[in-house]
Amino acid sequence: MDLSQMAQHLPPGMKMPSEDHMKKAMEDVTHMSEALKPLPEDPNRTIPVNEVLLALATAPCMCRIIPADVPSKISELEEAMRAEKVDMDWVDKASGAARNHAIAMLWQINRQRAALKEKDADLDGPTAQHASVAVQLATKLLVQAQMYLPQYRWVHAILAVARTSALIANQLWSPDELEAQVLMAKILKNEGLRRPKLRLEAFCEPKEVMAGAQLRVKVALLRHHAGIDGDEPPPASSQDGIYEAYWLYVEGLKDEPKTPNSLLSAQPMVVKDLNAQTVEPSQECGFTAPDKAGTYRLAVHVLSTSVTGVDLAFECSFDVVEDDVPALDGDDDPPPLR
């Protein structure tokens, strides 16, 4: 990707940064892309969050902005997390300053654990600042990755970035552990929001289609938590009046295990009315049917980059059928009209 291509992906109204700034941003984007690109031997594997965290910790901007000799007490953070059985095996894949940044970032998303709160409250200034800046930079890198990775159509890299974004945004360590789930619910309650309870439904329309014809994927997200607590809805945190935002990704599944699945659609699904029972994409998820007859499978994903644990998937399929009208023999002209 060159600078002009990066400029095309800027959101409306955002000014073009300086060339030097863009070059540095491109270094970070290239680094994240290389770190998360599909493996030739297993291109459709689920990428664990720890691999995304490692990519963030070793990104050029981490070492460029955070001094290598920052006087933070990283060893104390590492010791405290290991005592609580925090998974840190991946940290040893980094070295030097990058390893310190990995530990600092990992601390920031684990510090709300009950067993680590007292230690976090007693952190000295440089150590606390190191952890805070590491997470701020990680947030910036994840936003860049969300913008640029879809052009490569690497579905599982995109999904991994979305999952990691939710953890970083809330500074939580897991979408599944009960303690972290309780903390996520408290964060939402403080904003006047309910914990999402969602069901995803999807189907292809039409179910049978001619080769090269257009079809679409109909998607509905059912909100079983619809409603408000109180007489009036809480103020929306977004200027656009958005209370909930989800990302919809449509993945074309391949039968060959060494062929990467492809991203067919990526778009947001937003909630501006907390009483809404159903959310649908703002744009139609349409694409052209393949040329070859057969059954094709899709995986529809809905994730949140701001609420942990919202990670839904639904499979659907469509059939490409051959034209059963016999072709005219090239040597035989049709009879003239009378």
Topology of the domain covering 188-321: Immunoglobulin-like (2.60.40)
pTM to 2 decimal places: 0.88
Topology of the domain covering 3-173: Sec63 N-terminal domain-like fold (1.10.3380)
Q: Can you give the pLDDT of all 338 residues of the chain as single tens digits?
A: 444 444 454 445 545 455 677 788 899 999 999 999 999 999 999 999 999 999 999 999 998 999 888 888 999 999 999 999 999 999 999 999 999 999 999 999 999 999 999 999 999 999 999 999 999 999 999 999 999 999 999 999 999 999 999 999 999 999 999 999 999 999 999 999 999 999 999 999 999 999 999 999 999 999 999 999 988 999 998 889 999 999 999 999 999 999 999 999 999 999 999 999 999 998 999 999 999 999 999 999 999 999 999 999 999 999 999 876 665 555 555 555 44
Nearest Cα neighbor of 242 from 267, 271, 200 is 271
pLDDT, position 167: 98
Measure the N-to-C terminal CA separation of the chain; round to a whole number of Å. 61
pLDDT, position 160: 98
**Amino acid in the structure at residue 120:** D
Q: Rounded to an integer, what distance in angstroms lies between the CA atom of residue 65 and that of residue 138?
A: 12
Q: Rounded to an integer, what distance in angstroms lies between the CA atom of residue 320 and that of residue 53?
A: 41
pLDDT, position 104: 97
Residues 6+ apart with CB under 8 A from 51: 35, 36, 90, 160
CA dihedral 321, 326, 328, 334 (to 10 degrees): -120
Residue with tokens 């039409």: 206
Q: 150-178 in b/e burial notation, b at 16+ Cβ within 10 A?
A: bebbbbbbbbbbbbbbbbbbbbbbbbeee
The full set of domain ranges for the chain reads 3-173, 188-321
Residues 6+ apart with CB under 8 A from 278: 220, 221, 222, 223
**278, β-bridge pairs:** 222
**Amino acid in the structure at residue 326:** P
Residue 270: its H or E element: strand 262-271
pLDDT, position 149: 94
CB 271, CB 242: distance < 8 Å: yes
pLDDT, position 335: 53
Number of H-type helices and E-type strands within the chain: 10, 9
